[in-house]
Amino acid sequence: MIPPFAQGFPKGPEVDALLQAFNDGDYSQVQTLARQTLRESKDPAVRDAANVLLNRLRPDPIAVVAIVVTALLLLFLTLWWTPCGGAKRGFAPTLPLVAPPSCG
């Protein structure tokens, strides 16, 4: 089955191998074959198809930013909560702190 975005791709063994690997979910193979196709193919349509498949495997930049911001927020809240009273109120085991920061 050909994905809808690939309907206009050229026919040929290189593109068929790329689409087969993509449909099988073997994205490592797709990346390997697509990079090889980009280096070796002289047909611009085949190179464009390989480039489209590579772009489909890249993570969404907004999702990457959201994950990084979430991780930083979790780190900040953890570092703030532990010495600033969260552990002292019995919500978590108290940890010996050498010099707790001021939480004014």
Query: Residue 66 has what pLDDT?
Result: 98
Q: Which residue has the tokens 């191998």?
A: 17
Nearest to 2 by CA among 17, 20, 28: 20
How many Cβ atoms from other residues are within 10 Å of residue 2's Cβ? Answer: 12
Task: Report helix angle 44-57 to 27-40, nearest 10.
Answer: 150
Quick: pLDDT tens for 21-79.
Answer: 999 999 999 999 999 999 999 999 999 999 999 999 999 999 999 999 999 999 998 88
CA distance 26 to 20: 9
Output the pTM of the full model.
0.64
